[in-house]
């Protein structure tokens, strides 16, 4: 279950980026189909990893990307829920063009006493 390792890495990453003293309400990630990430398992791992930490109760939003297929015959590129799909031109071997995305996209945090400033997040974001 690689979801657990990924959840652990994500939690560390979120804490690193989170502005000090601001509660993290929501964490948004983007997941390519190639990754084989199971949303239910990931959710369970997120809850387990963040339990009794500063991230406890935060909502994990997973944007599960569909396969992106390209047809070698006619050049059509489209999104597909399945990897093995026939192209509308009849070609039986469209190829996946991506799918290994696994990115932290955003986090949503409480405002600091009515000061809607997000600049604190910049702190360590630029480190190498």
Binding site for other proteins (CB under 8 A): 1-2, 4-6, 9-10, 12-13, 17, 19, 25-26, 29, 34-36, 83-84, 93, 95-96, 99-100, 102-111, 114, 116-118, 121, 125, 128
* Smallest gap from residue 76 Cβ to other proteins (A): 16
Cβ proximity to other proteins, 65 vs 83, nearer residue: 83
Q: Does residue 104 contact residue 29 with C-beta atoms inside 8 Å? A: yes
Euclidean distance between CA atoms 7 and 128, whole angstroms: 22
User: What region, left, alpha or beta, does residue 5 occupy, with left being phi > 0 and alpha being psi -120 to 50 degrees?
Assistant: alpha
Strands of 67-70's sheet, edge to edge? 77-80, 67-70, 95-96
Cβ proximity to other proteins, 88 vs 105, nearer residue: 105
* Smallest gap from residue 111 Cβ to other proteins (A): 4
CA dihedral sign of residues 43, 99, 104, 124:
positive
* Smallest gap from residue 52 Cβ to other proteins (A): 20
Euclidean distance between CA atoms 59 and 8, whole angstroms: 15
Cβ proximity to other proteins, 77 vs 118, nearer residue: 118
* Smallest gap from residue 43 Cβ to other proteins (A): 15
User: Which residues are paired to 96 by β-bridges?
Assistant: 69
Cβ proximity to other proteins, 19 vs 55, nearer residue: 19
């Amino acid at each position: 279950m690689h979801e657990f390792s990924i959840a652990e890495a994500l939690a560390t990453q979120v804490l690193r980026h989170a502005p000090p003293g601001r509660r993290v309400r929501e964490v948004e990630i983007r997941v390519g189909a190639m990754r084989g990430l199971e949303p239910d398992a990931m959710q369970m791992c997120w809850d387990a990893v963040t339990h009794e930490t500063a991230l406890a109760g935060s909502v994990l939003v997973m944007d599960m990307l569909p396969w992106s297929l390209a047809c070698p015959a006619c050049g059509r590129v489209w999104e597909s829920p399945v990897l093995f799909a026939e192209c509308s031109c009849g070609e039986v071997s469209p190829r996946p063009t991506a799918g290994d995305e696994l990115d932290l996209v955003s986090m949503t945090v409480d405002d600091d006493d009515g000061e809607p400033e997000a600049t604190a997040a910049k702190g360590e974001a630029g480190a190498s």
